[in-house]
Amino acid sequence: MQQAQRMSVLGTETAFEVLARAEALARAGSDVINLGIGQPDFKTPPHIVEAGAKALRDGHHGYTPSPGIPRIREAVAADVARRRGVEVHPDRIVVVPGGKVTMFFAMMMFGEPGAEILYPNPGFPIYESTIRFSGATAVPIPLLEEKDFSFDPDEVLSLITPRTRLVIVNSPANPTGGAIPREALDRLVAGLAEHPHVAVLSDEIYARMTYDGREHVSLMGYPEIAERLILLDGWSKTYAMTGWRLGYAVWPEPLVEGATRLAVNCHSCVNASAQLAGIAALEGPQDSVGEMVAAFDERRKVIVEGLNALPGVTCRNPGGAFYVFPNVTGTGTSSDALQQRLLEEAGVAVISGTSFGTFGEGYLRFSYANSTGNIRRALERMGEMLSEPAMAAIP
Ligand code: PLP
């Protein structure tokens, strides 16, 4: 068999590997605390589950229109207007099986050999992987710890060349929890006026998860780039629906046909019951979202304080999502080695910063989508491990 060359550059998401290893250890009797996986530890709210179940009982078992049933596209448009203050026509919305699919489509649309795509680093690993898969050159945008993991907008603009096709922005972000402040986005958007050939993919899948009274600043709020902005969002995180596989994008009008054609070629449509559940999520009570975010906020405080008390660890207070990205250089141990020892010896699953790009060395990602009790136990175990005299000798 001879596979295409591009298969050799396709990356992965290490979180799934760590999850598999953590589960294997748990099956073998170890008590593993999983702070590795990026999904809410809450159940999908019952009224959403019921809408999905009812759809199946009512016989919604067939294909639907490829970009989504009209009602869900309308519901998304109404939600975008409500939360982002921007009117979009439902025809610009393409509903897909999860946020990742929009990412993949954007890379297939813009990436090819000779093209350049800018992406956050450390960032969600699938950006770099799919850029490379498309044949394009992946150009990292460094996220800076000293800026609470925001970027320097002038540095981003300086990376743009005539070959740049797309810039990816993710706020609030995985893996850092960083939220890009309004001033940085203002400056980026102002500078993009000089580069009308560059499209923007704004991954706002954590938009509803911000803390300390911080507002979510959406790139949808900038009319200057409205004609070249792709908004990526979905249900996975907001409504604890990761396994349902449901996401959407608002595409600029000229790109809708291409996105729909990619959907027809790839998955035909999202299953009808997930779409009907998705409508119930957007239109139904939102209390569960507020409750979940309040729980995350409480855990965020516990984990940030706890990490800062550990020897060799410093941790910024993240503005959003449900991750912290502590600097562990003071432990004298590489991120990969620390990830492995924490799992195998302390029974704490976390992800090495290097899984999110080369600029992630020196950091670990913790997901605090776990109970406060488990977070405290994990911190205790880490404290014991990091205090062992032998830690100093590990490369
Ligand atoms: N974008 C970011 C930044 C993410 O962290 C994730 C999931 O972890 C996604 C997109 C993908 O979400 P989905 O599970 O809906 O494909």
Q: Which domains does the chain have, with CATH numbers?
A: 5-44+287-386 (3.90.1150.10), 61-283 (3.40.640.10)
Q: Is 102 helix (H, G, I), strand (E, B) or coil?
A: helix
pLDDT at position 74: 98
Residue nearest to atom 8 of ligand 1 (CA): 38
Average pLDDT over residues 182-205: 98
Quote the radius of gyration of the chain (alpha carbons, Å).
21
pLDDT at position 391: 65
Task: Let me know if 126 is exposed, middle or buried by CB neighbors in 10 A (0-12, 13-18, 19+).
Answer: buried
Q: What is the pTM of this model?
A: 0.96
pLDDT at position 35: 95
Q: Is 305 helix (H, G, I), strand (E, B) or coil?
A: helix
Best CA proximity match to 184, nearest among 134, 231, 148:
148
Summarised one tens digit per residue, pLDDT across range 369-392 is 999 999 999 999 999 999 886 665
* Ligand 1 centroid from CA 203, angstroms: 9
* Ligand 1 centroid from CA 226, angstroms: 23
Angle between helical axes of 272-283 and 70-84 (0-180°, round to 10) = 30
Q: Which atom of ligand 1 is nearest to the CA of 124?
A: 3
Angle in degrees, CA 258, 264, 268, rounded to 5: 145
pLDDT at position 389: 67
178 lines ligand 1 (CB under 6 A): no
Average pLDDT over residues 54-76: 98
pLDDT band at 252 (very low <50, low <70, confident <90, very high): very high
pLDDT at position 394: 53
User: Per-residue pLDDT for 227 more than 80?
Assistant: yes
User: Per-residue pLDDT for 324 more than 90?
Assistant: yes
Best CA proximity match to 334, nearest among 349, 312, 318:
312
* Ligand 1 centroid from CA 267, angstroms: 18
Summarised one tens digit per residue, pLDDT across range 127-167 is 999 999 999 999 999 999 999 999 999 999 999 999 999 99
203 lines ligand 1 (CB under 6 A): yes
pLDDT at position 83: 96
Quickly list H helices, 85-166.
Answer: 99-110, 125-134, 153-158
Q: Which atom of ligand 1 is nearest to the CA of 103?
A: 10
* Averaged pLDDT of the chain: 96
